[in-house]
Copies of this chain bind each other. A is one copy, B any other.
Amino acid sequence: MKQNVFYAQSGGVTAVINASACGVIETARKHRAKLGKVFAGRNGILGALTEDMIDTSAETAGAIAALRFTPGGAFGSARYKLRGLDKNRAEYERLIEVFKAHDIGYFFYNGGGDSMDTAHKVSQIGKELKFPITCIGIPKTVDNDLPVTDTCPGFGSVAKYVAVSTKEAALDVASMARTSTKVFILEVMGRHAGWIAAASGLAGTTPRDAPHVILFPEIAFDENAFLARVKQSVDRYEYCVVVVSEGTRYADGRFLAEAGSKDAFGHAQLGGVAATVAQLVRSSLGLKYHYAIADYLQRSARHIASKVDVEQAYGVGKAAVELALRGENAVMPTIVRKSSEPYRWSIGKVALAQVANKEKLMPRNFISKDGFAITAACRRYLAPLIQGEDYPPYRHGLPSYVSLRNQPVTRRLNTEFVLK
C-alpha cells in the first residue's frame, strides 16, 4: 500500500527554496505507482504539529512548475526549533501521530542544520514507536554553512545578488566620488559565516576594483586596521566600497551592532552594523558615507537568481524523492563538485547525523592575510556558483510569481496540539 509524503520548509526562505519544492512534487508525481499525495506543512513543521496541511495534489502542473521561479516559501516556513527528544518528546510523538493519521510514510524537511537535526530525530522516534518513517533532509540556507555539501541551494543566488549589487553600486560611487560620497557600505547577511560577504569579492578582479574592504564574522574587527585600509582606498582610488557581514564582531565576541532581541532559536537579532561602521568612518576619517542594507531583498531576489543555484535547488528536491524510493533513510542529498573550471557537479548523499547542527565557516585560506579580501582559492570556489541567469517570466513589468491555492487536507484527528 503506497504512502503519502509530507514536505515542509524550515527557517529563513530563499529565492530558490520553492525550486526544491518543485523538484519534490514533480518527481513524486512521476512515481504515482509508489507514492501517494504530497502534503505540505502550512508554515512548515507547525503544519504537522497542528494538523494544518496543504494538499498539493489540488495544484495544476503549471502552478507547480511555476514554483521553480517563485521566491519565498509557497506553503509558509517557520522559525520553530523542536527541542531535544529528552526535553520535549511530546512534539515528536505528535508528529508521528499526525503522520500515522494521514498515511504519511515520507518526511522531506527542507532547511538548514537545525532542520537536519529534527529530521534525524524524527527518523529515530519513528523506529522507536514502530511507525518507521523515511526522513530525508533537503539542504537550504543562504548562509552556505552546511558541511559536506559543496554549497547550499539558496546561497548561489544571494551570492549573485550581492556580487551584482556591489559592482553596480561601485560604479555609482566611483562616478560621484570627487564631490560626493567617498565611502559606501553594504550590509549583507551572515551571522557566523562570511560566505555572503565573500561573494561580493567576485565583483572585482584587481585591488582597484570594489569591494575594497570585506568584513567577515570569522575575523575579529580591528578598528585601526579597518580605518587605515579605508583611508588608503580613498587616497588611491578616490573612494572605498566596504561590504560588511551582519555578524562582524569585536575581538571580545560582541557584535558591532546588536538589536537586542532574540529569535526562537536563541539567536540575537542583528541589524544596523552598516550604521555603526558608517559613523566610525565619519567620526574618525571625516569622510562622507552612504550605506545600504540588503536585508530580505538579498535572499528573495529571484529576478537575479543564479541558474546554477536554481538547478541545484531543483536537483536536491528531486534527489530527495529518488533517495527515498531507493530505500534510503536519514540522509540528505548533497552537491558534489567534480570540477571548478568548467564547473561540473553531481548529487551525492550524506547521513543526517553528519550534518545536523554543524556549521561550515569560511576556511582561513579563503580570506586574505590582512583579513579584508578573498583569496584566489576562495574565488575558484565561489565563481561557479553565480553562473548563469534564470529570469522569471514578466507581466506588466513585474515578475509573474505564482500564488498556490493551498487547499487544506481534511483533518482526521480530534486532538488539538498547543505549541509551546
**In the assembled complex, which residues on chain B have CB atoms less than 8 Å from the CB atom of A294?**
292, 297
CB of A303 closer than 8 Å to a CB of B? yes
Give Cα A35 to B157, complex, Å.
47
**In the assembled complex, which residues on chain B have CB atoms less than 8 Å from the CB atom of A13?**
171-172, 175-176
**Which one of B73, B178, B290 contacts A78 once the chains associate, using CB atoms below 8 Å?**
B178
Give Cα A71 to B383, complex, Å.
23
Smallest CB separation, A295 vs chain B (Å): 4
Interface residues of A in 262-306 (CB under 8 A from B): 263-264, 269, 271-272, 274-275, 288, 290-297, 299-304, 306
User: Given A168-B297, A168-B302, A296-B184, do A72 and B290 touch, yes or no (CB 8 Å)?
Assistant: no
Chain B minimum-CB-distance residue to A176: B77
Give Cα A264 to B290, complex, Å.
15
**Which one of B172, B299, B396 contacts A296 once the chains associate, using CB atoms below 8 Å?**
B172
Chain B minimum-CB-distance residue to A304: B303
Main SS class of interface, A: mixed
CB of A29 closer than 8 Å to a CB of B? no
Q: Is the CB of B43 within 8 A of A167?
A: no
- Protomer copies: 2
Which of A70, A71, A73, A397 neighbours the largest number of chain B CB atoms within 10 Å of its CB? A397
**In the assembled complex, which residues on chain B have CB atoms less than 8 Å from the CB atom of A72?**
168, 171-172, 174-175
CB of A80 closer than 8 Å to a CB of B? yes
Q: Is the CB of A165 within 8 A of B301?
A: yes
CB of A25 closer than 8 Å to a CB of B? no
CB of A180 closer than 8 Å to a CB of B? yes
Chain B minimum-CB-distance residue to A382: B397
**In the assembled complex, which residues on chain B have CB atoms less than 8 Å from the CB atom of A180?**
12, 78-79, 263-264
Q: Is the CB of A164 within 8 A of B398?
A: yes
Q: Is the CB of B296 within 8 A of A173?
A: yes
Give Cα A299 to B171, complex, Å.
11
**In the assembled complex, which residues on chain B have CB atoms less than 8 Å from the CB atom of A299?**
172
User: Given A46-B178, A292-B294, A295-B290, do A398 and B167 touch, yes or no (CB 8 Å)?
Assistant: yes
Query: What does the 1/0 interface line of A376-395 toward B look like (CB < 8 Å)?
Result: 00000001001111010010
**Which one of B12, B171, B184, B383 contacts A176 once the chains associate, using CB atoms below 8 Å?**
B12
CB of A202 closer than 8 Å to a CB of B? yes
Interface residues of A in 64-90 (CB under 8 A from B): 70-74, 76-80
CB of A248 closer than 8 Å to a CB of B? no
Q: Is the CB of B293 within 8 A of A71?
A: no
Q: Is the CB of A297 within 8 A of B78?
A: no
CB of A346 closer than 8 Å to a CB of B? no
Give Cα A294 to B187, complex, Å.
11
Give Cα A398 to B291, complex, Å.
22
CB of A261 closer than 8 Å to a CB of B? yes
User: Given A46-B178, A165-B297, A292-B295, do A171 and B401 touch, yes or no (CB 8 Å)?
Assistant: yes
Q: Is the CB of A176 within 8 A of B79?
A: yes
Give Cα A183 to B175, complex, Å.
35
**In the assembled complex, which residues on chain B have CB atoms less than 8 Å from the CB atom of A202?**
397-398
CB of A148 closer than 8 Å to a CB of B? no
Interface residues of A in 171-193 (CB under 8 A from B): 171-176, 178-180, 184, 186
Q: Is the CB of A172 within 8 A of B397?
A: no
Smallest CB separation, A173 vs chain B (Å): 7
CB of A203 closer than 8 Å to a CB of B? yes
Taking A72-B172, A73-B175, A292-B295 as known contacts, 14 extra A-B pairs with beta carbons closer than 8 A to each other, sorted by chain A number, are: A43-B179, A73-B176, A164-B303, A164-B399, A167-B399, A168-B297, A169-B295, A169-B300, A171-B300, A172-B300, A180-B263, A292-B294, A304-B304, A389-B391
7 contacting pairs across A/B (C-beta < 8 A): A13-B176, A43-B178, A71-B168, A72-B174, A172-B299, A294-B297, A386-B397
